[in-house]
Amino acid sequence: MPKLSVSGGHQLYYEVHGNARGLPVLYVHGGPGGGCSKADHRFFDFKKTRVIFFDQRGAGKSRPFASTKNNTTDELVGDINRLLDHLGLERVFLFGGSWGSTLSLVFAIRHPERALGLLLRGIFLGTKAENDYYLKGGIRLYFPEIWERFLSHVPRKARNNPAAYYQKQMHSRSRAIRQAYAFEWAFYEFSIMKLHTTEADTTKAIRSFPFEALSRLEAHYILRNCFLPENYILENAARLAHLPISIVQGRYDMVCPPEAAFRLHEQLPGSRLHVVTAGHTAREKPIEKMLISEMKRLARQTS
Protein backbone atom coordinates (compact mmCIF):
# COMPACT_ATOMS: atom_id res chain seq x y z
CA MET A 1 0.00 0.00 0.00
CA PRO A 2 1.63 3.28 -1.11
CA LYS A 3 2.19 5.79 1.69
CA LEU A 4 3.87 9.16 1.63
CA SER A 5 5.67 10.50 4.70
CA VAL A 6 4.82 14.11 5.48
CA SER A 7 5.54 16.47 8.38
CA GLY A 8 4.67 15.83 12.02
CA GLY A 9 5.08 12.06 11.89
CA HIS A 10 2.13 11.47 9.55
CA GLN A 11 1.98 9.05 6.63
CA LEU A 12 -0.60 9.54 3.89
CA TYR A 13 -2.18 6.61 2.11
CA TYR A 14 -2.91 7.24 -1.56
CA GLU A 15 -3.99 5.47 -4.73
CA VAL A 16 -3.77 6.48 -8.39
CA HIS A 17 -6.26 5.15 -10.93
CA GLY A 18 -6.94 5.74 -14.59
CA ASN A 19 -5.21 6.88 -17.73
CA ALA A 20 -1.71 8.25 -17.13
CA ARG A 21 -2.33 10.70 -20.00
CA GLY A 22 -5.81 11.67 -18.88
CA LEU A 23 -6.94 14.75 -16.99
CA PRO A 24 -5.25 14.67 -13.54
CA VAL A 25 -7.90 14.88 -10.81
CA LEU A 26 -7.38 15.06 -7.05
CA TYR A 27 -10.29 13.60 -5.08
CA VAL A 28 -10.55 15.50 -1.77
CA HIS A 29 -12.71 13.61 0.72
CA GLY A 30 -14.96 15.09 3.34
CA GLY A 31 -15.15 15.00 7.10
CA PRO A 32 -12.54 15.98 8.11
CA GLY A 33 -11.65 12.36 8.75
CA GLY A 34 -13.98 10.72 6.26
CA GLY A 35 -11.34 8.97 4.16
CA CYS A 36 -11.76 7.52 0.67
CA SER A 37 -13.44 4.31 -0.44
CA LYS A 38 -13.83 2.28 -3.61
CA ALA A 39 -17.34 3.73 -3.97
CA ASP A 40 -15.74 7.09 -4.77
CA HIS A 41 -14.49 5.66 -8.08
CA ARG A 42 -17.99 5.86 -9.56
CA PHE A 43 -17.68 9.55 -10.35
CA PHE A 44 -14.88 9.09 -12.87
CA ASP A 45 -14.22 7.68 -16.32
CA PHE A 46 -10.77 6.19 -15.79
CA LYS A 47 -10.24 5.98 -19.54
CA LYS A 48 -10.18 9.78 -19.69
CA THR A 49 -8.93 10.79 -16.24
CA ARG A 50 -6.07 10.02 -13.90
CA VAL A 51 -7.50 10.26 -10.39
CA ILE A 52 -5.53 10.52 -7.17
CA PHE A 53 -7.36 9.37 -4.06
CA PHE A 54 -5.69 10.08 -0.71
CA ASP A 55 -6.66 9.83 2.94
CA GLN A 56 -5.98 13.08 4.77
CA ARG A 57 -4.02 13.11 8.04
CA GLY A 58 -5.58 10.77 10.58
CA ALA A 59 -8.22 9.46 8.15
CA GLY A 60 -8.79 6.09 6.52
CA LYS A 61 -5.56 4.17 5.96
CA SER A 62 -3.29 7.10 6.76
CA ARG A 63 -1.31 6.85 9.98
CA PRO A 64 -1.43 7.53 12.87
CA PHE A 65 -5.14 6.78 12.77
CA ALA A 66 -7.55 9.45 14.08
CA SER A 67 -4.62 11.59 15.25
CA THR A 68 -5.32 15.27 15.87
CA LYS A 69 -1.66 16.03 16.54
CA ASN A 70 -0.03 18.23 13.88
CA ASN A 71 -3.35 18.20 12.05
CA THR A 72 -4.46 21.61 10.74
CA THR A 73 -5.75 23.07 7.49
CA ASP A 74 -2.34 24.58 6.75
CA GLU A 75 -0.73 21.16 7.11
CA LEU A 76 -3.33 19.52 4.87
CA VAL A 77 -2.67 22.13 2.18
CA GLY A 78 1.04 21.38 2.53
CA ASP A 79 0.32 17.67 2.21
CA ILE A 80 -1.45 18.20 -1.11
CA ASN A 81 1.53 20.10 -2.45
CA ARG A 82 3.84 17.35 -1.24
CA LEU A 83 1.70 14.64 -2.83
CA LEU A 84 1.52 16.44 -6.18
CA ASP A 85 5.28 16.95 -6.16
CA HIS A 86 5.77 13.28 -5.30
CA LEU A 87 3.62 12.27 -8.27
CA GLY A 88 5.25 14.77 -10.62
CA LEU A 89 2.06 16.77 -11.19
CA GLU A 90 2.23 20.51 -11.65
CA ARG A 91 -1.54 21.07 -11.83
CA VAL A 92 -4.68 19.09 -11.00
CA PHE A 93 -8.42 19.37 -11.21
CA LEU A 94 -9.92 19.38 -7.69
CA PHE A 95 -13.03 17.33 -6.84
CA GLY A 96 -14.28 17.87 -3.29
CA GLY A 97 -17.49 17.56 -1.28
CA SER A 98 -18.51 18.98 2.11
CA TRP A 99 -15.23 19.48 4.02
CA GLY A 100 -13.58 18.41 0.78
CA SER A 101 -15.06 21.53 -0.85
CA THR A 102 -13.52 23.65 1.93
CA LEU A 103 -10.05 22.15 1.58
CA SER A 104 -10.20 22.25 -2.23
CA LEU A 105 -11.10 25.95 -2.15
CA VAL A 106 -8.42 26.82 0.39
CA PHE A 107 -5.77 24.95 -1.59
CA ALA A 108 -6.79 26.59 -4.86
CA ILE A 109 -6.89 30.06 -3.27
CA ARG A 110 -3.37 29.62 -1.91
CA HIS A 111 -2.02 27.85 -4.99
CA PRO A 112 -4.10 28.93 -8.00
CA GLU A 113 -1.18 28.05 -10.26
CA ARG A 114 -1.69 24.37 -9.39
CA ALA A 115 -5.46 24.25 -10.02
CA LEU A 116 -7.03 23.35 -13.37
CA GLY A 117 -10.58 23.77 -12.08
CA LEU A 118 -12.95 22.64 -9.32
CA LEU A 119 -16.04 20.47 -8.99
CA LEU A 120 -17.55 21.07 -5.56
CA ARG A 121 -20.47 19.54 -3.69
CA GLY A 122 -22.26 20.45 -0.43
CA ILE A 123 -20.43 23.72 0.14
CA PHE A 124 -18.95 24.38 3.57
CA LEU A 125 -17.06 27.67 4.00
CA GLY A 126 -15.74 27.00 7.50
CA THR A 127 -17.33 30.09 9.07
CA LYS A 128 -18.38 30.56 12.67
CA ALA A 129 -22.03 30.89 11.63
CA GLU A 130 -21.94 27.50 9.89
CA ASN A 131 -20.19 25.86 12.82
CA ASP A 132 -22.63 27.33 15.35
CA TYR A 133 -25.60 26.25 13.24
CA TYR A 134 -24.33 22.69 13.16
CA LEU A 135 -23.19 22.30 16.76
CA LYS A 136 -25.16 24.82 18.80
CA GLY A 137 -28.75 23.94 18.01
CA GLY A 138 -29.58 25.07 14.48
CA ILE A 139 -30.40 21.49 13.56
CA ARG A 140 -33.17 21.50 16.17
CA LEU A 141 -35.41 23.40 13.75
CA TYR A 142 -35.56 20.42 11.39
CA PHE A 143 -34.49 17.37 13.42
CA PRO A 144 -35.47 18.11 17.04
CA GLU A 145 -35.30 14.46 18.08
CA ILE A 146 -31.81 14.02 16.60
CA TRP A 147 -30.55 17.17 18.31
CA GLU A 148 -32.02 16.04 21.64
CA ARG A 149 -30.31 12.66 21.31
CA PHE A 150 -26.97 14.39 20.62
CA LEU A 151 -27.48 16.70 23.58
CA SER A 152 -28.66 13.97 25.96
CA HIS A 153 -25.11 12.66 26.36
CA VAL A 154 -23.88 16.03 27.66
CA PRO A 155 -24.27 17.20 31.29
CA ARG A 156 -26.53 20.25 31.58
CA LYS A 157 -23.70 22.47 32.76
CA ALA A 158 -21.77 21.73 29.52
CA ARG A 159 -24.65 22.13 27.06
CA ASN A 160 -23.68 25.64 26.00
CA ASN A 161 -20.88 23.97 24.02
CA PRO A 162 -21.71 20.27 23.53
CA ALA A 163 -19.03 19.77 20.88
CA ALA A 164 -16.30 20.60 23.38
CA TYR A 165 -17.67 18.01 25.80
CA TYR A 166 -17.85 15.41 23.04
CA GLN A 167 -14.28 16.15 22.05
CA LYS A 168 -13.09 15.65 25.63
CA GLN A 169 -14.89 12.31 25.87
CA MET A 170 -13.55 11.17 22.49
CA HIS A 171 -10.06 11.57 23.95
CA SER A 172 -10.88 9.68 27.15
CA ARG A 173 -8.49 7.05 28.47
CA SER A 174 -11.41 4.62 28.32
CA ARG A 175 -11.75 2.97 24.93
CA ALA A 176 -15.44 2.31 25.59
CA ILE A 177 -16.13 5.99 26.31
CA ARG A 178 -14.12 7.10 23.27
CA GLN A 179 -16.04 4.82 20.96
CA ALA A 180 -19.44 5.59 22.48
CA TYR A 181 -19.06 9.33 21.99
CA ALA A 182 -17.51 8.93 18.54
CA PHE A 183 -20.47 6.77 17.54
CA GLU A 184 -23.00 9.30 18.83
CA TRP A 185 -21.22 12.13 16.98
CA ALA A 186 -21.34 10.14 13.75
CA PHE A 187 -24.97 9.12 14.40
CA TYR A 188 -25.91 12.79 14.70
CA GLU A 189 -24.35 13.62 11.34
CA PHE A 190 -25.51 10.54 9.45
CA SER A 191 -29.08 10.99 10.69
CA ILE A 192 -29.45 14.35 8.92
CA MET A 193 -27.51 13.68 5.71
CA LYS A 194 -30.25 12.16 3.54
CA LEU A 195 -33.83 12.97 2.66
CA HIS A 196 -34.89 9.51 3.82
CA THR A 197 -33.18 7.25 6.35
CA THR A 198 -33.95 5.08 9.37
CA GLU A 199 -32.11 4.48 12.61
CA ALA A 200 -31.17 1.00 11.40
CA ASP A 201 -29.82 2.34 8.11
CA THR A 202 -27.87 5.05 9.92
CA THR A 203 -26.30 2.58 12.34
CA LYS A 204 -25.38 0.22 9.51
CA ALA A 205 -23.74 3.03 7.54
CA ILE A 206 -21.68 4.15 10.53
CA ARG A 207 -20.51 0.63 11.30
CA SER A 208 -19.33 0.20 7.69
CA PHE A 209 -16.30 2.46 8.08
CA PRO A 210 -13.83 3.63 10.79
CA PHE A 211 -16.08 6.35 12.23
CA GLU A 212 -13.79 7.28 15.13
CA ALA A 213 -11.52 9.29 12.82
CA LEU A 214 -14.46 11.19 11.34
CA SER A 215 -15.86 12.14 14.75
CA ARG A 216 -12.58 13.10 16.43
CA LEU A 217 -11.28 15.10 13.49
CA GLU A 218 -14.55 16.91 12.85
CA ALA A 219 -14.67 18.05 16.46
CA HIS A 220 -10.99 19.04 16.32
CA TYR A 221 -11.51 21.20 13.23
CA ILE A 222 -14.94 22.67 13.84
CA LEU A 223 -14.12 23.76 17.39
CA ARG A 224 -11.22 25.75 15.91
CA ASN A 225 -13.21 27.24 13.03
CA CYS A 226 -11.29 24.96 10.68
CA PHE A 227 -8.05 26.86 11.41
CA LEU A 228 -9.19 29.61 9.04
CA PRO A 229 -9.65 33.37 9.49
CA GLU A 230 -13.33 34.27 9.52
CA ASN A 231 -14.85 34.47 6.04
CA TYR A 232 -11.50 33.53 4.50
CA ILE A 233 -12.87 31.71 1.45
CA LEU A 234 -15.37 34.32 0.30
CA GLU A 235 -12.92 37.16 0.84
CA ASN A 236 -10.35 35.42 -1.34
CA ALA A 237 -12.60 33.67 -3.87
CA ALA A 238 -11.77 36.20 -6.58
CA ARG A 239 -8.39 34.49 -6.94
CA LEU A 240 -10.26 31.60 -8.57
CA ALA A 241 -12.35 33.62 -11.01
CA HIS A 242 -10.32 32.44 -14.01
CA LEU A 243 -10.95 28.74 -13.32
CA PRO A 244 -13.82 26.51 -14.52
CA ILE A 245 -15.85 25.84 -11.38
CA SER A 246 -19.04 23.85 -10.94
CA ILE A 247 -21.05 23.63 -7.72
CA VAL A 248 -23.58 20.87 -6.93
CA GLN A 249 -25.81 21.53 -3.94
CA GLY A 250 -28.68 19.66 -2.33
CA ARG A 251 -31.71 21.90 -1.86
CA TYR A 252 -32.48 20.18 1.44
CA ASP A 253 -28.93 19.83 2.72
CA MET A 254 -29.21 20.14 6.51
CA VAL A 255 -25.49 19.59 7.18
CA CYS A 256 -24.29 22.34 4.83
CA PRO A 257 -27.34 24.50 4.01
CA PRO A 258 -27.59 25.94 0.47
CA GLU A 259 -26.88 29.54 1.51
CA ALA A 260 -23.12 28.89 1.47
CA ALA A 261 -23.27 27.57 -2.10
CA PHE A 262 -25.22 30.63 -3.24
CA ARG A 263 -22.78 33.00 -1.53
CA LEU A 264 -19.82 31.27 -3.15
CA HIS A 265 -21.52 31.35 -6.55
CA GLU A 266 -22.11 35.09 -6.13
CA GLN A 267 -18.40 35.62 -5.56
CA LEU A 268 -17.60 33.48 -8.61
CA PRO A 269 -20.00 34.74 -11.30
CA GLY A 270 -18.38 32.50 -13.90
CA SER A 271 -19.17 29.37 -11.90
CA ARG A 272 -22.11 27.03 -12.58
CA LEU A 273 -24.50 26.27 -9.71
CA HIS A 274 -26.71 23.18 -9.83
CA VAL A 275 -29.28 22.86 -7.04
CA VAL A 276 -30.86 19.41 -6.94
CA THR A 277 -33.63 17.83 -4.89
CA ALA A 278 -31.52 16.01 -2.32
CA GLY A 279 -29.87 16.30 1.07
CA HIS A 280 -26.14 16.32 1.78
CA THR A 281 -24.60 13.02 0.83
CA ALA A 282 -23.22 12.25 -2.62
CA ARG A 283 -24.86 8.83 -2.31
CA GLU A 284 -28.23 10.39 -3.11
CA LYS A 285 -29.00 9.78 -6.77
CA PRO A 286 -29.71 13.40 -7.89
CA ILE A 287 -26.34 14.54 -6.50
CA GLU A 288 -24.48 11.51 -7.80
CA LYS A 289 -25.96 11.90 -11.28
CA MET A 290 -25.11 15.59 -11.47
CA LEU A 291 -21.56 15.06 -10.23
CA ILE A 292 -20.91 12.39 -12.85
CA SER A 293 -22.39 14.59 -15.58
CA GLU A 294 -20.41 17.66 -14.55
CA MET A 295 -17.18 15.68 -14.22
CA LYS A 296 -17.59 14.49 -17.80
CA ARG A 297 -18.32 18.00 -19.02
CA LEU A 298 -15.44 19.60 -17.13
CA ALA A 299 -13.03 16.87 -18.23
CA ARG A 300 -13.88 17.70 -21.86
CA GLN A 301 -13.59 21.43 -21.21
CA THR A 302 -10.33 21.23 -19.27
CA SER A 303 -8.46 18.63 -21.33
**Residue 98 is a catalytic residue:** yes
- Distance CA(68)–CA(74), nearest Å, equals 13
Element (H, E) at 166: helix 162-170
In the annotation, is 67 catalytic?
Answer: no
Catalytic annotation, pick one of 67, 191, 215, 253: 253
Helices 199-207/175-191 angle, 10° precision? 130
The active-site residue, picked from 62, 98, 191, 271, is 98
H or E stretch including 273? strand 272-276
Pairing of strands 49-54, 11-18: antiparallel
Left (φ > 0), alpha (ψ -120 to 50) or beta: where does 66 sit?
Answer: left
Contact, 58 vs 72, CB < 8 A?
no
Q: Is 64 helix (H, G, I), strand (E, B) or coil?
A: coil
How are beta strands 11-18 and 3-5 bridged, if at all? antiparallel
Closest CA to 2 of 184, 244, 12: 12
45 a catalytic residue: no
Q: What is the 3-state secondary structure (H, E, C) of 81-133?
A: HHHHHHHCCCCEEEEEECHHHHHHHHHHHHCHHHEEEEEEECCCCCCHHHHHH
Catalytic residues: 98, 253, 280
